[in-house]
Chain A
Amino acid sequence: GAGVSQSPSNKVTEKGKDVELRCDPISGHTALYWYRQRLGQGLEFLIYFQGNSAPDKSGLPSDRFSAERTGESVSTLTIQRTQQEDSAVYLCASSLQLAGLPDTQYFGPGTRLTVL
């Protein structure tokens, strides 16, 4: 089966524009995570979805960031009014997460966002 896919692979935008990043998790995986990695920095947690539960948004850096997930499928991360400090690689991961127990996460290739 296919792994986690993300699109686009690269996105260049102008400051102030909105962007949408897409993640297709592995089929059947109930948990989905978004992370950010700025150049030369470590990974940062952004948001977590688990089934139909309310998402854990505790990592979103500002109200310009939002994410949606339809059921247990595709997720979209939206950044409004982009700023140069939003430039980063945005990574998505999914896991099976049975019974709410910790589980191996499978990462997508990431979307490299550059805000000019």
Chain B
Amino acid sequence: KNEVEQSPQNLTAQEGEFITINCSYSVGISALHWLQQHPGGGIVSLFMLSSGKKKHGRLIATINIQEKHSSLHITASHPRDSAVYICAVRLDRGSEKLVFGKGTKLTVNP
């Protein structure tokens, strides 16, 4: 079993829909990252969080430390949101290693 599991693996939505991507992890962490990988391959860091909730524009990320679960929400989705969204965790064992989920491929149709 992978230490970081994302669901769904693929997601297709219509423009305007509310999107939720989930990430569950099985290890102790000091932080969780949400990354966006564009079709061209470039990676952008969206959020880094260790507790609670963060919001940036139409994006919201939440984390529940007790349940070892995080969600990434996109409100009023747009075709330009189409990308692969990757969850990654920084382990709490004193290592800087990030462990990555396999990603969720989101396609937003106009």
Contacts and interface: CB of A to CB of B under 8 A. Distances in A.
Interface of A: 31, 33, 35, 41-45, 48, 50, 56, 58-59, 89, 91, 93, 102-107, 109-110
B90 A43 contact: no
Interface of B: 30-31, 33, 35, 41-45, 48, 50, 86, 88, 90, 95-103
Contacts of A31: 96
Contact of A58 (B43, B44, B50, B97): B97
A102 B92 CA distance: 10
A102 B50 contact: yes
Contacts of A58: 95, 97
A42 B102 contact: yes
A107 B97 contact: no
Contacts of B31: 102
Nearest to A53: B96
Contacts of B42: 107, 109-110
Given A102-B90, A109-B41, A42 B103 contact: yes
Contacts of A56: 95-97
B101 A42 contact: yes
Contact of B43 (A44, A59, A91): A91
A59 B97 contact: yes
Nearest to A48: B96
Q: When A and B form their complex, which 3 residue pairs have the shortest distance between CB atoms, in order from nearest?
A: A102-B31, A107-B43, A48-B96
A107 B101 contact: no
Given A102-B31, A102-B50, A43 B88 contact: yes
B100 A43 contact: yes
A104 B50 CA distance: 12
Given A107-B44, A110-B42, 6 more contacts: A33-B98, A35-B98, A42-B101, A102-B30, A105-B45, A107-B35
20 contacts: A33-B96, A41-B102, A42-B101, A42-B103, A43-B86, A43-B88, A43-B100, A44-B100, A48-B96, A56-B95, A58-B95, A59-B97, A102-B30, A102-B90, A103-B48, A104-B33, A104-B45, A105-B33, A107-B35, A109-B41
